[in-house]
């Protein structure tokens, strides 16, 4: 049983999701190869080689993979797929774009967003916005899996294993990279942050999110939002947590002025400790909260910041 894990990176650094996907892979078997596709990714390959459980690393280092476009990266994965029984990538934007193409090209059914490995053929994945967990058994000879990285821990380190280059540069003939617009922030990335503080409709407007910023600065937290806050234009869409936003599972999640709709819970209920601040004692968020504060956020947020 040979397992191929597709590394998640931004050409600058390996993302922690890769280590978590290796953790998932290690529950399937012990022969784990990591593929690093990108441009100037030697350092990233080095980092991948030091994730505990990885047996070897393959690097496809070429300008054609600089943007990791799904179209040609999927072709590369298929080119290398022979002999692997499992192909895994994180259910990140990149993985969700690429892996269905890999599955289709291999004529396999993808199993998406697994949160647990039961055995080499059987996996658990959330359905109905996380309200039920399906146990899925696959008869495919090659399993194409995306992994909800937040459900797995980061692996420990090991002494670096062998890194081999592949001389494959699949040109992209159908699509062209035009530009990327990135939100630059000093704060940790929402999906990787150990602490997340999110604001909802109760924040009333975008300016009031400054009340969360002071606390986030003190806690080294990322700032998230409910969909209602995003739809109302308080904050940009990339801050949305939930079923149609980002899935987070930090050590500490602070929900401020968020009612706790199931679609929001789908994105944060696996957080280790949940704190809710809401003026309505009957708000559903209190049903999942470890600590609840029934209070007006405009009174308690400045106090909390001062106390911190």
Ligand X SMILES: Cc1cc2nc3c(=O)[nH]c(=O)nc-3n(C[C@H](O)[C@H](O)[C@H](O)COP(=O)(O)OP(=O)(O)OC[C@H]3O[C@@H](n4cnc5c(N)ncnc54)[C@H](O)[C@@H]3O)c2cc1C
The site for ligand X (CB under 6 A) is made up of 200-202, 226-229, 240-245, 257-259, 261, 263-264, 267, 277-280, 283, 296-298
β-pairing, 273-278 vs 3-6, is unpaired
H helices, E strands: number in the chain: 9, 15
How far apart are CB 245 and ligand X at their closest, in Å?
4
Q: What DSSP state is assigned to residue 272?
A: S
The residue among 187 and 279 lying less far from ligand X, judged by its C-beta, is: 279
Check if the beta carbon of residue 188 is closer than 8 Å to that of residue 216: no
Please give the residue whose beta carbon sits closest to ligand X in the complex. 242
Neighbours of 129 (CB within 10 A): 16
The residue among 4 and 258 lying less far from ligand X, judged by its C-beta, is: 258
Q: Which two tokens stand for residue 69?
A: 């476009």
Give 66's DSSP letter: T
In the bound state with ligand X, the residue whose beta carbon lies nearer, of 117 and 249, is: 249
Closest to ligand X by CB, 158 or 205: 205
Nearest approach, Cβ of 21 to ligand X (angstroms)? 23
Which two tokens mark 149? Answer: 């990285």
In the complex, minimum distance from the CB of residue 180 to ligand X, in angstroms, rounded to a whole number: 23
Least distance in Å: CB of 266 to ligand X? Answer: 7
Question: Closest Cα to residue 86, out of 108, 70, 60, 59?
Answer: 108
Q: How far is the CB of 220 from ligand X (least distance, A)?
A: 23
Report the distance separating Cα 161 and Cα 154, nearest Å.
18
**Backbone phi and psi for residue 298, each to the nearest 5 degrees, phi listed first:** -70, -20
**Alpha helix locations (H) across 201-296?**
210-219, 227-231, 262-268, 285-288
117 vs 285, beta carbon nearer ligand X: 285
CB distance 17 to 44 below 8 Å: no
Least distance to ligand X, CB of residue 231, Å: 8
Instruction: CB nearer to ligand X: give 229 or 252.
Output: 229
């Amino acid at each position: 049983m040979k397992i191929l894990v597709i590394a998640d990176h931004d050409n600058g650094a390996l993302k922690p999701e890769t280590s978590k996907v290796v953790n998932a892979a290690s529950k399937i078997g012990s022969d784990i190869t990591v593929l690093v596709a990108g441009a100037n990714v030697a350092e990233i390959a080095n980092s991948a080689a030091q994730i505990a459980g990885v047996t070897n690393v393959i690097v496809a280092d070429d300008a054609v993979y600089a943007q990791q476009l799904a179209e040609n990266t999927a072709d590369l994965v298929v080119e290398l797929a022979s002999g692997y029984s499992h192909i895994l990538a994180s259910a990140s934007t990149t993985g969700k774009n690429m892996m269905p193409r890999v599955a289709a090209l291999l004529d396999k059914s993808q199993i998406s967003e697994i949160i647990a490995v039961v055995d080499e053929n059987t996996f658990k994945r959330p359905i109905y916005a996380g309200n039920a967990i399906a146990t899925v058994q696959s008869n495919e000879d090659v399993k194409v899996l995306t992994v909800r990285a937040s459900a797995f821990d980061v692996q420990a380190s090991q002494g670096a294993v062998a890194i081999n280059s592949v001389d494959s540069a699949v040109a992209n003939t159908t699509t062209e990279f035009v530009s990327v617009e990135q939100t630059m922030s000093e704060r940790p990335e929402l999906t990787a942050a150990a602490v997340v503080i999110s604001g909802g409709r109760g924040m009333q407007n975008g300016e009031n999110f400054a009340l969360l910023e002071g606390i986030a600065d003190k806690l080294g937290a990322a700032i998230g939002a409910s969909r209602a806050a995003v739809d109302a234009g308080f904050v940009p869409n990339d801050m949305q947590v939930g079923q149609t936003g980002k899935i987070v599972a930090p050590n500490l999640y602070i929900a401020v002025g968020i009612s706790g709709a199931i679609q929001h819970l789908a994105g944060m209920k696996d957080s280790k400790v949940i704190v809710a601040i809401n003026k309505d004692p009957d708000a559903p968020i209190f049903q999942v909260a470890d600590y609840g504060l029934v209070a007006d956020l405009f009174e308690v947020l400045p106090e909390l910041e001062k106390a911190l």
